[in-house]
């Protein structure tokens, strides 16, 4: 990292410094990888004396001559300095480089008693003495091994494996990217010339229609710029899981792979079937990763006894399913989807026992399904007195809005083993406390509760969150993510690794663009070339330290005087509060830095010190949780009492735990929007973190998507409403996060696009109405075209087509996917996005929360029967109206042309072209309304007849758009005729 001509170490984030000759210190003379001398010494002492980037051995001259002889009076100071530099370099998050004196003065000021300063100093002195005692025997008994001899003793194979990168970037070839960028620039130039012509050639006879069309077209161009330019530098990545194993899973050595905590969220088991959630859990428990490194947390935000009982059955079935999966390496490891595959399951299976064991396992799974479905059938009707557990006591979650916190640990090292006696991953059921009068923040609050519970119980450094209907389709997906997160160079500044979403159960035509292929295969690849993809809510592996609100290691702390807004506040009080918050964050960083230096201290004194440093104001009133945040590599103390940890876990999921803390504001999932995923990722990248987009050949995770029209529109409505909420909040990308300049310009454009796209619905509705009005009035928004104007229109259409074609070329997306995406952009824009804009303003400005009810109809039992399910909702009204208006306009236009003669057909072509453009884009919507075998709901027929009758009467009888005939002019004309 280079900043103001100063080179910073890529290991610890400090300045590289100079060597004995006063020149900039260089560790590797092959690739000139910036790393400071202290980090080189540490790597050498650990037996890793090769460059982190190129793998070449460090030159002997990287060690200064002063290293061999140190004056006696300076030995302690030098050791302390090196230890400090090394400690900073090992941190997984940004640790402020505030001096010890500064921290001590802060302690003295806050406590009002210099005893805290003396305690910290005494701990450090004790720490230094112990280090000297440990180093003295080694110096007396062992002779130093020359550096050259150490290099010779290292095995070439292990050194090469350690030097090889765990992932590589494969940029899009210049032959594909060059023409793509050229066409984008050409299209931008043509747009400028096009708007110059449109503005300078108004249509006086239809000025209102012309002005409306100009405003709409300018907004469409602005929207295109926001969507297009973040795709300027798309890249692909390849991860090497074999190299990961060679580096961190060596034979005869303990496994060094980092632990991972899996989060699964569910609310209502009647809407989210327990069997689907159970398949997700089973696929996690059977993942291809060391079992002691995996923990699965299931959040039941509905406190349903059905969910708990189904997990009991799932834990029992996992004892048979997990060893079966790992023995035969089957994919996917969700039993429902594995057994439903229509493939030859005998292919590549050479074990003679496979067929027999597969049949036995399928029988076991069918029996397991019967037990779970029996639980579901029993739960359809809740008893008047509520549910009762097997011991006769009432289920604590009978009132889902008023119940205590509940935690149950299944499996794990202290629980049941599989049928072969092997250990299983830990499975934990969590239902956070809920009480009336508290704001629980829906899914974001549930995820934050899981962050705290997992920190207390297992504290893995990485977190993978999944929706309850997204199972692990690729058992090596976690290893793919670790190739980025555990890479010493790539993973330092990575806050999360995002996988694309893939779906089952969608028909081949993908009528409503449920797969979102254009977004996941085009837009996200483009963002990966800038600062990383946005967080999309599921299938994402987080760095836990990034969730705690810290900056990346290579980034200096934000200046205290800088605000998160690009516009300075007019109120001095607000500036003071911002400065106070920045000071508190830096104070917390400095406190963690000093506590990590100290190995020998009194536990009671440290807990008091934590309280004294106001950690609680950031993380909450839990010393156990706060101490877990100080462990950079995660883990729980071996001496910790499990019963005590469970009590503390219950405490951190209390409904009042987050009050007066930074949870939901700076820490964890961010509150303030139903699309908490976009907001959470945005806050991380504003701090300087980057993200990674991982697309393995076999999809990592697969889920289910709503494939019928009504459910799809309501899903899009929820996303659009979240974007409007962010737009109206303080976290709007238009002004938030300019301090420090850590969010790149193109990345900011991408985030702006994610929050302004619902507003495109307003000009889109107007533009889709214009063709019908032009046909009904006989007017048009474009004057008679000249040769130059015709060339501009032709160039614009060609550039649009070329942009799409070249995009398809480098992304691999099919033209059908692109067309479906274009169609649903119009369908969603004139329905869900339109309602989201009005609902968002009503909710954020007036406090009115509007809900749209959905009435479900029965679907056929055939394959994709849900596709033809009709659910009448108010979201269907605007698209239906637009279709009918344009159909009536087309009929009216052809009628006028027939009556007007040959000269009327020329202007009709342009008007009809735009009308059919609207109809073709809304065709999937029309087909969805018709359903199977034209069984259209009665309400749709009535609405269509009503609209058609109204507009026909307006056109035939009232004629409000046609200018009135001047009778005096007619009489004057008649007089002049010579009869």
Q: Which of 229, 223, 228 is nearest to 762 (CA)?
A: 223
Catalytic residue (choose from 300, 589, 677, 711): 677
Report the chain's C-alpha Rg in angstroms: 33
Q: Is 927 annotated as ligand-binding?
A: no
Distance between CA 889 and CA 885 in Å, rounded?
6
Measure the CA–CA gap between 198 and 212, rounded to whole angstroms.
12
For residue 854, what are the CA distances in angstroms to 743, 871, 872? 40, 6, 6
Sorted by sequence, the CB contacts under 8 Å of residue 593 that are 6+ apart come out as 87, 88, 95, 96, 97, 98, 103
How far is residue 644 CA from its own chain's centroid? 34
Asked if the peptide bond before residue 332 counts as cis, ω within 30 degrees of 0, the response is yes
Number of neighbouring beta carbons within 10 Å of residue 935: 10
Q: Are 151 and 625 in contact (CB under 8 A)?
A: no
3-state secondary structure of 270: coil
Task: Respond yes or no: is residue 109 known to be catalytic.
Answer: no
- Choose among 770, 712, 703, 704: nearest CA to 924: 712
The full DSSP string for 5-36 is TEEB-TTTSSB--B-TTSSBP-S-TTT-----
* C-alpha to C-alpha distances, 205 to 209, 393, 499, 779, 960, nearest whole angstrom: 9, 80, 54, 7, 15
Question: C-alpha angle 420/422/428, rounded to 5°?
Answer: 120
Helix (H, G, I), strand (E, B) or coil at 811: helix
DSSP letters for 859-900: --SSTTGGGG---B-GGGHHHHHHHHHHHHHHHHHHHHHHHH
Alpha helices (runs of H) in 229-304, residue ranges in sequence order: 241-248, 274-285
Residue 271 labeled ligand binder: yes
Q: Determine whether the annotation assigns residue 326 to a binding site.
A: no
Q: Per the residue annotation, which of 301, 418, 510, 817 is the catalytic one?
A: 301
Task: Give the DSSP H or E segment for 464.
Answer: strand 462-467
Residues facing 295 on adjacent strands: 261, 426
Verify whether residue 60 is a known catalytic residue. no
Contact 29, 59 (CB under 8 A): yes
Q: Cα(688)–Cα(545) distance, rounded to whole angstroms?
A: 13
Q: Is 660 annotated as a binding residue?
A: no
Which alpha helices (DSSP H) does 201-273 contain, by range? Answer: 207-228, 241-248
Number of neighbours of residue 651 by Cβ within 10 angstroms: 18
Q: Does 443 belong to an annotated binding site? A: yes
Q: Is 265 annotated among the ligand-binding residues? A: yes
Q: Are 430 and 406 in contact (CB under 8 A)?
A: yes
Q: In this structure, are residues 396 and 390 in contact, taking their beta carbons and an 8 Å threshold?
A: no
Binding-site residues for UDP-alpha-D-glucose, in ranges, read: 265, 271-272, 301, 442
Binding-site residues for Mn(2+), in ranges, read: 443, 467
Binding-site residues, in ranges, read: 265, 271-272, 301, 442-443, 467
Catalytic residues: 301, 677
């Amino acid at each position: 990292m280079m900043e103001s001509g100063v080179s910073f170490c890529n290991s610890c984030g400090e300045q590289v410094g100079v060597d004995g000759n006063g020149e900039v210190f260089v560790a590797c003379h092959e690739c000139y990888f910036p790393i400071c001398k202290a980090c080189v010494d540490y790597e050498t002492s650990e037996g890793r004396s090769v460059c982190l980037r190129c793998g070449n051995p460090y030159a002997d001259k990287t060690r200064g001559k002063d290293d061999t002889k140190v004056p006696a009076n300076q030995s302690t100071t030098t050791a302390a300095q090196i230890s400090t530099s090394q400690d900073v370099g090992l941190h997984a998050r940004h640790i402020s480089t505030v001096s010890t004196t500064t921290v001590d003065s802060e302690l003295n000021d806050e406590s009002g008693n210099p005893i805290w300063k003396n305690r910290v100093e005494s701990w450090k002195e004790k720490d230094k003495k112990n280090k000297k005692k440990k180093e003295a025997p080694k110096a007396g008994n062992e002779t130093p091994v020359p550096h050259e001899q150490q290099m010779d003793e290292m095995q070439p194979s292990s050194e090469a494996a350690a030097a090889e990168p765990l992932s590589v970037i494969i940029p899009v070839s210049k032959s594909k990217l060059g023409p793509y960028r050229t066409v984008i620039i050409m299209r931008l130039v043509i747009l400028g010339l096009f708007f110059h012509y449109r503005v300078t050639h108004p249509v006086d006879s239809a000025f209102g229609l012309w002005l409306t069309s100009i405003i709409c077209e300018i907004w469409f161009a602005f929207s295109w710029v926001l969507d297009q330019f973040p795709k300027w530098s798309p890249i692909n990545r390849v991860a090497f899981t074999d190299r990961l194993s060679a580096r961190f899973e060596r034979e005869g050595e303990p496994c060094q792979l980092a632990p991972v905590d899996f989060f699964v969220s569910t609310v209502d088991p009647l809407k989210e079937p327990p069997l689907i959630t159970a398949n997700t859990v089973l696929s996690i428990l059977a993942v291809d990763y060391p079992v002691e490194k995996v923990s699965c947390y299931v959040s039941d935000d509905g406190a349903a006894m059905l969910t708990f009982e189904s997990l009991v059955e799932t834990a029992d079935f996992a004892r048979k399913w997990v060893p079966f999966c790992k023995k035969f390496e089957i994919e996917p490891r969700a039993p429902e989807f594995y057994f439903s595959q229509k493939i030859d399951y005998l292919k590549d299976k050479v074990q003679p026992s496979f067929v027999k064991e597969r049949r036995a396992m399928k029988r076991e799974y069918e029996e397991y399904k019967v037990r779970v479905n029996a639980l579901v059938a029993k739960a359809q009707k809740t008893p008047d007195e509520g549910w009762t557990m097997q011991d006769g006591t009432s289920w604590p979650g009978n009132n889902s809005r008023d119940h205590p916190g509940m935690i149950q640990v299944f499996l794990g090292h202290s629980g049941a083993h599989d049928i072969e006696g092997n250990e299983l991953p830990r499975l934990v059921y969590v239902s956070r406390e809920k009480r009336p009068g508290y704001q629980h923040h829906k899914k974001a609050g549930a995820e934050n509760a899981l962050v705290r519970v997992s920190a207390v119980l297992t504290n893995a450094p990485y977190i993978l969150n999944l929706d309850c209907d997204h199972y692990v389709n690729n058992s090596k997906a976690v290893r793919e993510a670790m190739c980025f997160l555990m890479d010493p160079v790539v993973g330092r500044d990575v806050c999360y690794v995002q996988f694309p979403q893939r779906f089952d159960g969608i028909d081949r035509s993908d009528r409503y663009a449920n797969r979102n292929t254009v977004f996941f295969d085009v837009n996200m690849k483009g963002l990966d070339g800038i600062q990383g993809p946005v967080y999309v809510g599921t299938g994402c592996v987080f760095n836990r330290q990034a969730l705690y609100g810290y900056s990346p290691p290579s980034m200096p702390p934000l200046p205290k005087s800088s605000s998160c807004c690009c516009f300075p506040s007019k109120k001095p009080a607000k500036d003071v509060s911002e400065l106070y918050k920045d000071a508190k964050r830096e104070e917390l960083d400095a406190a963690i830095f000093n506590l990590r230096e100290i190995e020998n201290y009194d536990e009671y004194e440290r807990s008091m010190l934590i309280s004294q440093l106001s950690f609680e104001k950031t993380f909450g009133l839990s010393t156990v949780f706060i101490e877990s945040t100080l462990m950079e590599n995660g883990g729980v103390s071996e001496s910790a009492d499990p019963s005590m940890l469970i009590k503390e876990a219950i405490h951190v999921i209390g409904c009042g735990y987050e009050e007066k803390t930074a949870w939901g504001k700076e820490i964890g999932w961010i509150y303030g929007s139903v699309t908490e995923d976009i907001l959470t990722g945005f806050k991380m990248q504003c701090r300087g973190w980057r993200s990674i987009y991982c697309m393995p050949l076999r999809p990592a995770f697969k889920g289910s998507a709503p494939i019928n029209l009504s459910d799809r529109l309501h899903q899009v409505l929820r996303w659009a409403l979240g974007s409007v909420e962010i737009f109206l909040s303080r976290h709007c990308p238009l002004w938030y996060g300019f301090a420090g300049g850590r969010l790149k310009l193109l990345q900011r454009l991408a985030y702006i696009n994610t929050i302004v796209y619902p507003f495109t619905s307003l000009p889109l509705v107007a533009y889709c109405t214009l063709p019908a009005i032009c046909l009904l009035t006989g007017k048009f928004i474009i004057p008679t075209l000249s040769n130059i104007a015709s060339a501009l229109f032709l160039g614009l259409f060609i550039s649009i087509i070329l942009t799409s074609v070249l995009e398809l070329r480098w992304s691999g997306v099919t033209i059908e996917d692109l067309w479906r995406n274009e169609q649903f952009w119009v369908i969603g824009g004139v329905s869900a996005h339109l309602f989201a804009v009005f609902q968002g303003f009503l909710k954020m400005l007036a406090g009115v929360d509007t809900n749209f009810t959905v009435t479900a109809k029965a679907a056929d039992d055939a394959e994709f029967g849900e596709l033809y399910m009709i659910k009448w909702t108010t979201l269907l009204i605007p698209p239906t109206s637009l279709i009918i208006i344009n159909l009536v306009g087309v009929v009216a236009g052809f009628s006028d042309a027939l009556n007007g003669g040959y000269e009327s057909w020329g202007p009709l072509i342009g008007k009809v072209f735009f009308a059919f453009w609207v109809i073709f884009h809304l065709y999937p919507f029309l087909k969805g309304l018709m359903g199977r075998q034209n069984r259209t709901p009665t309400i749709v027929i009535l609405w269509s007849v009503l609209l058609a009758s109204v507009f026909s009467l307006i056109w035939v009888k009232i004629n409000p758009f046609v200018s009135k005939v001047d009778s005096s002019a007619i009489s004057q004309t008649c007089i002049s005729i010579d009869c």
